[in-house]
């Protein structure tokens, strides 16, 4: 076995060990959360019962029976779907216009809005919505989530639209198709990987968002990330129910990530290559 072969094998073993280490780092907290959701309070707090416990669904029954978790799920779905659709409706035409007319200054503005921390918008949003009496409404949550989702969708989609051949659009115009028709019937279907990628990631952001919901929601519109506070009191924490609720919140994101991973990766990589 020559030196080059040994080096190659050594690198493969190194990357395999590094991969296993990263998998362990990210999977162990999730597995602990999953196992704790089936344990009793005593079993969770007992240091010698990490693996040995009597599995049961009492925590999940408590979450839905005693804490109205279906209502929280409904609120999160309404806000996440509405904010994603709203961001797509505004972001796709805007990204197309920026790409076609080479509006570099607008691209810089979008990048700035994308990298600014969300807390920057929080106080102005609260003052504005409070004066408009929109605090604890779906409108406030949807608009606040769009502040983050809209720049992200535009930034992902601009490279897709820039790579689309202008000659194809010009041919469709000569055939009598309007600019709006060309955009809707030709450009958007070709850019489907980017649309799927950006919309899925915008949905995940909205589903997981905690900060905006903490300030702008109330009892009527409280989404899932805020619902975990129901299991925390000044004297105790219902760890089993809390972990069950965390599993319920994580499940849709996990399903989307696993089932749509191929489209997310291909969409992001295509946008990066085309950009």
For residues 4 and 164, which has the higher predicted lDDT (pLDDT)? 164
- The candidate with the shortest Cα–Cα distance to 2, out of 10, 12, 17, 15, is 10
Mean pLDDT (whole number) for 199-213: 88
Q: What does the pLDDT read at residue 275?
A: 45
| pLDDT above 90: residue 229 | no
Spatial separation of the C-alpha atoms in residues 31 and 40, rounded to whole Å: 16
Query: If you search the block for the tokens 């992200």, which residue do you land on?
Result: 152
Q: What does the pLDDT read at residue 74?
A: 93
Q: What does the pLDDT read at residue 81?
A: 94
Q: What does the pLDDT read at residue 83?
A: 94
Q: What does the pLDDT read at residue 273?
A: 45
Q: What does the pLDDT read at residue 80?
A: 94
Q: What does the pLDDT read at residue 179?
A: 78
> pLDDT tens digit string along 115-173?
777 777 788 888 999 999 999 999 999 999 988 888 888 888 888 888 777 777 778 77
Q: What does the pLDDT read at residue 41?
A: 82
- The candidate with the shortest Cα–Cα distance to 144, out of 210, 95, 69, is 210
> pLDDT tens digit string along 57-107?
888 888 888 888 888 999 999 999 999 999 999 999 988 888 887 776 676
- Of 15-19, 93-97, 182-186, 259-263, which range is least confident? 259-263
For residues 271 and 181, which has the higher predicted lDDT (pLDDT)? 181
CB 238 within 8 A of CB 167: no
Spatial separation of the C-alpha atoms in residues 2 and 92, rounded to whole Å: 55
Q: What does the pLDDT read at residue 52?
A: 61
């Amino acid at each position: 076995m020559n030196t080059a072969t040994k080096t190659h094998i050594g690198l493969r073993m190194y990357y395999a060990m590094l991969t296993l280490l990263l998998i362990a780092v990210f999977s162990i907290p999730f597995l602990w959360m999953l196992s704790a959701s089936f344990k009793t309070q005593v079993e969770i707090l007992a240091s010698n019962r990490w693996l040995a416990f009597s599995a049961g669904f009492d925590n999940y029954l408590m979450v839905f029976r005693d804490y109205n978790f279906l209502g929280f799920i409904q609120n999160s779905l309404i806000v996440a779907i509405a904010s994603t659709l709203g961001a797509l409706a505004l972001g796709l035409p805007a990204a197309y216009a920026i790409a076609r007319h080479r509006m570099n200054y607008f691209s810089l503005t979008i990048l700035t809005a994308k990298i600014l921390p969300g807390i920057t918008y929080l106080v102005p949003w609260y003052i504005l919505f409070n004066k408009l009496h929109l605090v604890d409404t779906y409108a406030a949550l949807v608009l606040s989530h769009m502040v983050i989702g809209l720049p992200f969708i535009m930034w992902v989609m601009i490279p897709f639209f820039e790579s689309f051949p202008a000659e194809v659009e010009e041919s469709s115009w000569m055939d009598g198709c309007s600019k709006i028709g060309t955009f809707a019937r030709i450009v958007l279907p070709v850019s489907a990987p980017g649309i799927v990628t950006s919309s899925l990631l915008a949905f995940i952001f909205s589903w997981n968002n905690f900060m905006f919901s903490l300030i702008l929601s109330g009892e009527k519109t409280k989404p899932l990330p805020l619902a975990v506070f129901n299991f925390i009191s000044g004297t105790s924490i219902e760890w089993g129910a809390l972990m069950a609720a965390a599993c319920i919140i994580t499940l849709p994101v996990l399903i989307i990530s696993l089932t749509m991973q191929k489209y997310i990766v291909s969409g992001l990589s295509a946008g990066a290559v085309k950009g």
